[in-house]
Structure 1
Amino acid sequence: MTDHRPVETWLTDMDGVLVHEEDAIPGAAEFITALEQSGRSFLVLTNNSIFTPRDLRARLLMSGIDVPERAIWTSALATAQFLAEQRPGGSAYVVGEAGLTTAMHDVGYVMTDRDPDYVVLGETRTYSFEAITRAIRLIEKGARFIATNPDPSGPSPAGTLPATGSVAALISTATGRQPYYIGKPNPLMMRSALNRLDAHSETTIMVGDRMDTDIISGLEAGLRTVLVLTGSTSREQVEHFPYRPSRIVDSVADLVQFVADEDRQPEQG
């Protein structure tokens, strides 16, 4: 990067940047430690709405990465914040797990299947036909359709799992109604993270492993972006996109020294 503006805030994706499933990516623990020691504000972002920040902190800690609970920002939290601003004290029929239901309760929402303001679809490992049918009927009756993220699938030790985007497509096909997605690649996810930290886009860097979610949403939110090659997008695939990250590195291990040295800027890459 040739941009010499200071870096005061870091946002980083989790899966593919810090961890693969339960395994830490080399350099990830050192990267988080460097961020903590630098005194700079940072958030770890994830489209996963299954877990609460406390759950995710515990999972990361088991992988050897010590991320404070306050530094974890999920699509569930971003969704709850968005709905609280749009319709304070509203009601929702929620299809999801503890990460989403806890976030919705925390902003004062009522969970109900009787004439809710919204149907909110999140990720779960146990999608039920009954819950999906109920969501379809409530949307047909006028409930507004919100989904935490558009990811069509997710990884598991046993293989690919259907995720929020796939189930949202099923509901959309049945109702003719498209959801409003809150998580990446919607730049709203980035802006909500910036607001949480009282940070500015001009002095923030987003680190991600996917061009079509992390990098595009960071770009559209006005952030500088760093693509790591430890996840979904390879260096060769970058050329297929009509936009580029500010920098490409092999992994977050390549950013540790830069974070530790407040006077340095990354070389062009």
Structure 2
Amino acid sequence: MIDINGMKGFICDMDGVIYHGNRILAGVDRFIHWLKESDKQYLFLTNNSSYTPRELQQKLARMGLDVGQEHFYTSALATAAFLKEQAPGCSVYVIGEAGLLNALYDVGITMNDVNPDYVVVGEGRGYSLDTITKATNLVLHGAKLIGANSDVSGPIEDGIAPACRALVAPIEMATGVKAYFCGKPNPLMMRTGLRILGCHSGEAVMVGDRMDTDVISGLECGMSTILVLSGISTRETLKEYAYRPGLVLDGVGDIVDVARKAAGS
């Protein structure tokens, strides 16, 4: 069991945990109120590279949730930080949305569709046969291949949508080059999240809806883990993995119930 009340920090996924598309999930408002009321450090750590932290803040505000911009960290920011460390001032060809483009611009990385150092792929509505053909040939000519995250799919209001790993796959298959992924479960992203919170791994909980990114990333960083069944993973798919989360709940609202029950006892 996890001592939820004794934990200092909470790192939470967003897609499938906080919302599906533009629909907020049950119990989320109670969970966020409890985090604030209990003076917990918290960070929404999302593999979705499409949005900037400001856009995520505004998205939650439209759903009636008041969360400051400083509480968001994305795989786009993790990708930009990785490239800034590896190759300061490099150039990239990008398939992605504003969240990824802005993160790269902000660390001094330039766009280049002729001879870039890297091809960077995130989720994006501009993804097409033309863009993956361009990316394929740039990789064949020596550009290194980066994926913002390794999610194959993500939950939306009426099902799932292909995510970054699925979008990178055709480029990998056509070139024979394997991409490097910067988002969860890459420990670099998790360590950054803990650093932002000011927490040691033993003081923090990873809350997510996926065994293959959220739970494994928390476990491998020494954090406690909570799987919520409001997104991708189910009780049936749990059986496929050799590892287990510390706690399995229907949704984040149940975290509040567990905490209050423990406090009462």
* TM norm structure 2: 0.91
Structure 1: how far apart are the matches of 2:191 and 2:146?
A: 18
Structure 2: how far apart are the matches of 1:12 and 1:250?
A: 15
Q: Which residue of 2 aligns with 1:53?
A: 53
Q: By how many angstroms is 1:258 displaced?
A: 6.1
Q: Which residue of 2 aligns with 1:101?
A: 101
User: Cα distance 1:198–1:115, how it changes in 2: closer, same or farther (>3 A)?
Assistant: farther
SS of alignment partner, residue 230 of structure 1:
coil
Q: By how many angstroms is 1:259 displaced?
A: 6.2
SS of alignment partner, residue 206 of structure 2:
strand
CA contact (8 A) 1:49 1:76 kept: yes
User: Deviation digits for residues 104-152 of structure 1, max 9, x if unmatched?
Assistant: 0111111112322211111102312222222112111111110001222
Q: Which residue of 1 aligns with 2:175?
A: 175
Q: Structure 1, unaligned stretches of length 5 or more?
A: none
Structure 1: how far apart are the matches of 2:13 and 2:192?
A: 14
User: Deviation digits for residues 48-75 of structure 1, max 9, x if unmatched?
Assistant: 1111111111112222222211111111
User: Cα distance 1:25–1:97, how it changes in 2: closer, same or farther (>3 A)?
Assistant: same
User: Cα distance 1:33–1:172, how it changes in 2: closer, same or farther (>3 A)?
Assistant: same
CA contact (8 A) 1:209 1:232 kept: yes
SS of alignment partner, residue 245 of structure 1:
coil
Structure 1: how far apart are the matches of 2:189 and 2:142?
A: 26
Q: By how many angstroms is 1:208 displaced?
A: 0.8
Q: By how many angstroms is 1:222 displaced?
A: 1.2
Q: Which residue of 2 aligns with 1:187?
A: 187
Q: Which residue of 1 aligns with 2:246?
A: 246
SS of alignment partner, residue 171 of structure 2:
helix
SS of alignment partner, residue 132 of structure 2:
helix
Structure 1: how far apart are the matches of 2:98 and 2:240?
A: 38
SS of alignment partner, residue 215 of structure 1:
helix
Q: Structure 2, unaligned stretches of length 5 or more?
A: none
Q: Equivalent pairs: percent with the same residue?
A: 48
User: Deviation digits for residues 140-188 of structure 1, max 9, x if unmatched?
Assistant: 1111110001222334456543332122110011111010011123233
What RMSD over aligned residues (CA atoms) do the two structures have, in Å?
2.4
Structure 1: how far apart are the matches of 2:244 and 2:20?
A: 24
CA contact (8 A) 2:155 2:232 kept: no
Higher deviation after alignment, 151-160 or 11-20: 151-160
Between Structure 1 and Structure 2, how many residues are aligned?
Answer: 265
